[in-house]
Amino acid sequence: MKRIYFDHGATTKVDETVAKTVMEAMLNNFGNPSSIHSFGRTARKSVEESREKVAALLNAQPGEIFFTSGGTESDNLAIKGITLANQKKGHHIITSTVEHHAVLHTCEYLEKNGFTVTYLPVDKYGMVNPEDVREALNNKTILVSIMMGNNEVGTLQPIKEIAAITREAGVYFHTDAVQAVGNMPVDVKDLGVDLLSLSGHKFYGPKGIGALYIRKGVKIAPVQHGGGHERKLRAGTENVPGIIGLARACEIAMQDMPEKVARVSALRDKMIRTILQNIDHVQLNGHPEKRLPGNANFSFEFVEGESLLLNLDLKGIAASSGSACTSGSLDPSHVLLSMGLSHEIAHGSLRLTLGAENTEDEVDYFLDVIPEIVTRLRAMSPLYNNNCNLSIRRSEVCEHCHGDS
Amino acid sequence: MYTEKVMDHFTNPRNVGEISDADGIGEVGNAKCGDIMRIYLKVSDAGIIEDVKFKTFGCGAAIATSSMVTEMVKGKSLKEALDISNKAVAEALGGLPPAKMHCSNLAADALHEAIKDYIEKHGETK
Ligand SMILES: Cc1ncc(COP(=O)(O)O)c(C=O)c1O
């Protein structure tokens, strides 16, 4: 069976030339960049050239790029590093309810350690209102962290507008751009952000490598101590093959970026248009226009997300869902609930994240098989075409959700 | 993640549907939790489950356990059916992932509700 990958939001397939570059580095460029001999100097040169390539993708200076182990570490370093270094000024952080757990759980951790965190709400599209940021700011605020593109529903936040507000207030602004970088144009100067997280595996680079952009002049402290790597901000011998692979992924991302964005967006739009047209009782989650190029997220009423995923997998299609069964917790996705979706609707969510290698044929195949799957599951569902006159003995108490109904 | 047996019942669920003149109907769970299982029973004068159908909203485990329980009770007496536990259903499926054991493994509960519904409507014996 042909396998179709519509889960690029989770991770992407490493580009072949990236893999070759990494392999080559592992075999022939094994020196420690801190060593002064020729092996070390070769590795150092590669790391610094890589820094230039990552900087180029973001329109940053090479000195503003710090390599990390990925998105999670970049988020942690940004948030903990800024709060540690600036706590004399205050203990207040502003973020949103729809952030990735790498940001949310870091903020919750800081809350337990004496910081105050404001979690801004979002509208029904999952969008933060920049005016809410302005109102939440006070003279103790040291950091605002709002993501660029939401990993679940794809909504793009008004980063530029928020950055204008934080800059005016003299407060640092970090954005988790893990889903955006490499998949759409991201220009740190144009956006006006102070810190920005990115991760290699979301755009055809290796896993376990990422970077944090830190605008020159920003006051930040290390959270990991050891040697003096990454200009004393991130101790640990550099992941040289990963760094070289990340840089190669950045180079590839820069080639024909507008064309690739247009192509992926067109596939996404066809998917959204057709689903909304051909299937009843379905809604698009996330913003109708301002969304990540590859992200489509639907809720199919009366059916549950994991059943959809299993059925799609049987047809060779890989996707994901925000249902409780797939989120690994008892509650469906915090993002969908924050947007005001009921638990029922959130349980029936299906995320399809398209990438560079997806074709129109693949989208058509999906569009072909999904109506039948939804129809079959609905035929099985007691919620669909429910006969309200039935006399049924009900026990709504289910232990696992504390008996709420 | 799921056993072959679970996937078999998930992809080819037995006894899906409704019984229009059911003698007992039971339901457990709620949409908020992400699982609802409804069981319809047709019971003979002798107290034997002659027909059983289910409708389920839920994940793979919810659908598979519902299907399994209908297969297990067909032709059984009400008393025998009341002895079937959620655990027995899971075992008949070759086990469920730990996370699903208490969350989506409610099919026997739905069956028991349907039996209680029958008893309420018809008395202990028909
Ligand atoms: C928005 C967002 N932030 C952070 C991360 C974490 O990145 P990583 O997997 O590189 O740690 C992810 C990916 O899962 C993400 O989508």
Q: What is the pLDDT of residues B44-71, one digit of tens each?
A: 999 999 999 999 999 999 999 999 999 9
Please tell me the least confidently modeled range out of A140-144, A174-178, A344-348, B14-18. Answer: A344-348
* B1 in contact with chain A, both atoms CB, cutoff 8 A: no
A5 vs A402, more confident: A5
- Mean pLDDT across chain A: 95
Residue bearing the CA closest to ligand 1, atom 14: A10
pLDDT at site B34: 85
How does B81-110 read in b/e, with b if 16+ C-beta sit within 10 Å? bbebebeebbebbeebeeebeebbbbbbbb
> Mean pLDDT across the stretch A118-122?
98
**To the nearest whole angstrom, how far is the Cα of B107 from the nearest Cα of chain A?**
12
B52 touches chain A (CB under 8 A): no
List A residues 374-393 in contact with B (Cβ-Cβ < 8 A). Answer: 379-383, 387, 390-393
B59 touches chain A (CB under 8 A): yes
Q: CA B81 to CA A177: how far, in whole Å?
A: 55
- Is A160 in contact with A190 (CB distance < 8 Å)? yes
Q: Residue type at A343?
A: H
**pLDDT digit string, tens, across residues A354-385:** 999 999 999 999 999 999 999 999 999 999 98
Q: Domain residues for B116?
A: 4-121
Determine which one of A250, A325, A398, A401 is catalytic: A325
Provide the pLDDT for residue A405. Answer: 35
- Measured in degrees and rounded to the nearest 5, phi and psi for residue A215 equal -55, 140
Instruction: Say what the pLDDT of residue A380 is.
Output: 96
CATH classification of the domain holding B29: 3.90.1010.10
Number of structural domains chain B divides into: 1
Q: Is A8 in the pocket of ligand 1 (CB under 6 A)?
A: no
Reply yes or no on domain A16-253 having CATH 3.40.640.10: yes
Percent share of chain B, pLDDT over 70: 98
The pLDDT score that the predictor gives to residue B99 is 84
| Residue-wise pLDDT tens digits, A304-349 | 999 999 999 999 999 999 887 766 666 789 999 999 999 989 999 9
Provide φ and ψ at A149, rounded to 5°: -125, 130
ipTM of the complex in this document: 0.93
- pLDDT by residue (tens digit) across A195-240? 999 999 999 999 999 999 999 999 999 999 999 999 999 999 999 9
Q: Which residue of B has its CA nearest to A382?
A: B55
Question: Which residues, 6+ apart, have CB-to-CB distance to B66 below 8 Å?
Answer: B13, B37, B39, B54, B56, B107, B110
Architecture of domain A4-9+256-392: Alpha-Beta Complex (3.90)
Confirm whether B59 is a catalytic residue.
no
pLDDT band (50, 70, 90) for residue B42? very high
Nearest in space to A32 (alpha carbons), one of A21, A43, A24, A22: A43
Closest CA to A163 of A178, A146, A179, A141: A146
Identify whether B33 is part of a domain: yes
Nearest alpha-carbon partner for A299 in A278, A317, A277, A275: A275
pLDDT of residue A398: 54
More confident residue, A186 or A1: A186
Mean pLDDT for the stretch of residues A140-164: 98
Domain membership of residue B19 (yes or no) is yes
State both tokens at A78.
């940004």
- How far is A270 from A276, CA to CA, in rounded Å? 10
- Is B22 a domain residue? yes
CB distance B33–A343 less than 8 Å?
Answer: yes
- CA–CA separation, B56 and B124 (whole Å): 27
pLDDT range class, residue A402, cuts 50, 70, 90: very low
Q: How far is B46 from chain A (nearest CA, A)?
A: 22
Q: Compute the Cα dihedral for B16, B17, B20, B23 and give only its sign.
A: positive
Q: Is the CB of A147 under 6 A from ligand 1?
A: yes
Among B13, B58, B116, beta carbon nearest to A304: B58
Do residues A95 and A145 touch, judged by C-beta distance below 8 A? yes
Q: What span, in angstroms and rounded, lies between the C-alpha atoms of A215 and B6?
A: 53
On whether the CB atoms of residues A350 and A3 are closer than 8 A, the answer is no
A343 min Cα distance to partner chain B (Å): 5
Domain boundaries, chain A: 4-9+256-392, 16-253
Q: Distance from the CA of A70 to the center of ligand 1, in angstroms? A: 7
The pairing of strands A141-145 and A92-96 is parallel
B33 touches chain A (CB under 8 A): yes
CA B112 to chain centre: 8
Cα-based distances in Å from A101 to A305, A318, A333: 21, 23, 11
Whether residue B44 lies within 8 A of chain A, CB to CB, comes out as no
Q: Report how far residue A220's alpha carbon sits from residue B96's, in angstroms, rounded to the nearest whole number.
A: 48
Strand locations in A133-178, DSSP E?
141-145, 172-176
In this prediction, residue A329 carries a pLDDT of: 65
| B10–A393 C-beta distance less than 8 A | no
Encode pLDDT of A271-297 as tens digits.
999 999 999 999 999 999 999 999 999
Task: Tell me how far the alpha carbon of residue A177 lies from the centroid of ligand 1, in angstroms.
Answer: 9
Task: Using a cut of 0.90, tell me whether the model's pTM lies above it.
Answer: yes
